[in-house]
Amino acid sequence: MRFREEYWFLSNFYPTPVWGFPTAEHAFVSCKTIVPSERHALEGLKTPAQAKAFGRRCTMRPEWKDPKFRLGAMKAVVMAKFLGNAELRDKLVATGTLELVEENWWGDTFWGRCDGKGDNHLGKILMEVRENLTCKDCLKPFNPYEFDEDRWSTVCDECEAIREAGYVDANPDGTNEALAFERELYPD
């Protein structure tokens, strides 16, 4: 599948604000550098293509070489994208159990697949976020940060537990990597 037409909303190029940037691509590129002037320059870029090109020439933070760090950054960006937009969150959840694969022609085999080959990390992150934003019992989308009692006729135990805990995608020890990563990048 390509993140085009009906699935364009899955693309990081889709126009929806993330962390004050116009797209998830801008937000992801902001994770690459810690140089304030470069982050400021990124804010002025109008298109996600410009942000992506900027990301190739900015000063990379030392951690960026670590794939685990890059995956954490992408997970934080994708989670913020769908938590911040109820319409997109509902569309993501509506994909059900569909395997989400970022098919591309430009040879990106880390985030997607090209000619059937690649790790498809973006697709895997999207499916993980989808699972975390879907109630396992009632299969309705929810956002524990903007929980609306009036939207639900019944609340399953899992929805209630997540709302009370105040987090999604928690590790067994109660930590949340995506949100911790976002807080590290953008402390209040």
Q: Name which of 6-10, 72-76, 174-178 the model is least confident about.
A: 174-178
Model pTM score: 0.76
In the predicted model, is pLDDT for residue 146 greater than 60? no
For residues 10, 12, 18 and 20, what is the CA-based torsion angle, rounded to 10 degrees?
-150
Measured at the alpha carbon of residue 5, what is the angle toward residues 16 and 30, in degrees to the nearest 5?
30
pLDDT digits (tens, 9 = 90+) for 11-25: 999 999 999 999 999
Q: pLDDT digits over 28-59, tens only?
A: 999 999 999 999 999 999 999 999 999 999 99
Q: Vertex 81, ends 76 and 85: CA angle to 5°?
A: 145
Q: Where are the domains of the chain?
A: 5-11+67-185
Q: Which CA distances in Å does 37 have to 34, 52, 58, 104, 137?
A: 9, 17, 10, 32, 47
Tokens of 156: 């399953």
